[in-house]
Amino acid sequence: MLILGIESSCDETGVALVRLPAEPGRVPELLSHALFSQIEMHQAYGGVVPELASRDHIRRVLPLTDEVMQASGRRLQEVDVVAYTRGPGLAGALLVGAGVACALAASLGKSVLGIHHLEGHLLSPFLSQDPPTFPFIALLVSGGHTQLMLVEGVGRYTLLGETIDDAAGEAFDKSAKLMGLGYPGGPALSRLAQAGDPQAFKLPRPLLHSGDLDFSFAGLKTAVLTQARKLGEDLPARKADLAASTQAAIVEVLVKKSMHALRTTGMRRLVVAGGVGANQTLREQLNAACKRLDIRVHYPELHLCTDNGAMIAMAAAMRLQAGVSAASARYAFDVKPRWPLADLQA
């Protein structure tokens, strides 16, 4: 079975083709994928402009689909299911992917399946060379979400804790913006941090000792702003130190809470997903902490940490394989810009 996946929830247009093997239990295989990032277009505005994002998805999605089909050596007529991101995300941007997916499937006489964007991230490590097995604890760290979840199977997700304000990616992005590092701030801040001292500034580790698995990052951004103001003219010379200290604060909280989740549930496996999962310091410190506790840790491949079509096609393939979803030939669609993962039933 061939599944085409379309992702258009934010500022990346992603398309991918995944093959679901007939033999039960086999991990679906990524045949090809293509991605267009709109980052450059939004950079001038310091963040994503939703209307511009939607219009650009319209321009990119069909050429990317052609590219994916050509690279795979398959024909569009061979596709069995067209999967698309149904939510959460920017409403207009989601409508482009959903509309194109349903139109494509209708014209080919094939079925469609709407996918939860976070489930895509969550299952993206199954596309790596070292795929996990269920059950596991998932640390989902993206631009909009920071969650710890108990994952017992496809569609069997229990939320253990989440951020009560900003997401980890947002903490990177907002701190980077305060330091004049542009958008998106995560990669820029972590690059600069390599040249800095992570202990140079004492920044808060919100909720570190709260005893639960919730996060809070809004106070950190304020502390970074206060520190930047205090530095005044010295800021340019100390920027790398401030970046390293900010990253250290975010990473320490993510690592400690993940270990707490593993300890309280007795799980022996951790899966990291979402854009912030590309952060090298986070990976190094999680690896070290997991090694101490003899925990296996899995990551998506670096280029599949941030938004892409492969994770959407993969989530669809795994849902179909597990029998928790059926693709449908009803082409009337809606999108869900706000959609808690906990509402997704197996």
Residues at the site binding ligand KG4, with contacts judged by CB under 6 A: 10, 121, 142-144, 169, 172-173, 184-187, 190, 274-276, 278-279, 306-307
Which runs of consecutive H residues, i.e. helices, occur in the chain? 39-43, 50-72, 91-108, 117-123, 168-178, 185-193, 218-231, 235-265, 280-293, 310-322
Q: Is 325 in the site for Zn ion (CB under 5 A)?
A: no
Tell me: does residue 307 bind Zn ion (CB under 5 A): yes
Measured from the CB atom, the residue of 125 and 274 that comes closer to ligand KG4 is 274
Phi and psi (nearest 5°) for 39? -50, -45
Of 113 and 315, which has the nearer Cβ to Zn ion? 315
Closest approach, Cβ 167 to ligand KG4, in A, equals 7
93/259 with CB nearer Zn ion: 93
Instruction: Pick between residue 99 and residue 274 the one whose CB is nearest to Zn ion.
Output: 274
Find, among 305, 311, 285, the residue nearest to 297 by Cα: 285
298 binds, among ligand KG4, Zn ion, none (CB under 5 to 8 A by kind): none
Residue 282 CB, nearest distance to ligand KG4 (Å)? Answer: 7
How far is it, in rounded angstroms, from Cα 181 to Cα 142? 19
Residue found under tokens 């909280």? 253
CA distances from 281 to 244, 246, 299 (A): 10, 12, 13
179 Cβ neighbours under 8 A, 6+ residues apart: 189, 192, 224, 228, 235, 239, 242, 243
Which of the stretches 67-75, 200-208, 258-266, 301-309 binds Zn ion when contact is defined by CB under 5 A?
Answer: 301-309
Tell me which of ligand KG4, Zn ion, none is bound by residue 173, counting a contact when its beta carbon lies within the kind-specific cut-off of 5 to 8 angstroms.
ligand KG4
- Residue 111 or 245: the one with the smaller Cβ distance to ligand KG4 is 245
Question: How many residues in the chain?
Answer: 346
Alpha carbon distance 197, 240 (integer Å): 7
210 three-state secondary structure:
coil
Min separation Cβ 331 and ligand KG4, Å? 26
* DSSP category for residue 336: -
Between residues 126 and 201, which has the closer beta carbon with respect to Zn ion? 126
Footprint (CB under 5 A) of Zn ion, residues 58-97: none
11: contact with Zn ion by CB under 5 A: no
- Between strands 296-298 and 269-273, the pairing is parallel
Among 8, 72, 85, 142, binds Zn ion (CB under 5 A): 142
Residue appearing with tokens 């006489």: 109
Report the Cα–Cα distance between both ends of the chain, in Å, rounded: 21
169 binds, among Zn ion, ligand KG4, none (CB under 5 to 8 A by kind): ligand KG4
Contact between 163 and Zn ion by CB under 5 A: the answer reads: no
Q: How far is the CB of 254 from ligand KG4 (least distance, A)?
A: 10
Judged by CB, which is closer to ligand KG4: 20, or 87?
Answer: 87
CB of 70 to ligand KG4, least distance (A): 26
- Rounded Cα distance between 26 and 263, Å, is 30
Pick 44 or 237: Cβ nearer ligand KG4: 44
| Minimum CB distance to ligand KG4, residue 98 (Å) | 17
Interface positions with Zn ion (CB under 5 A)? 142, 307
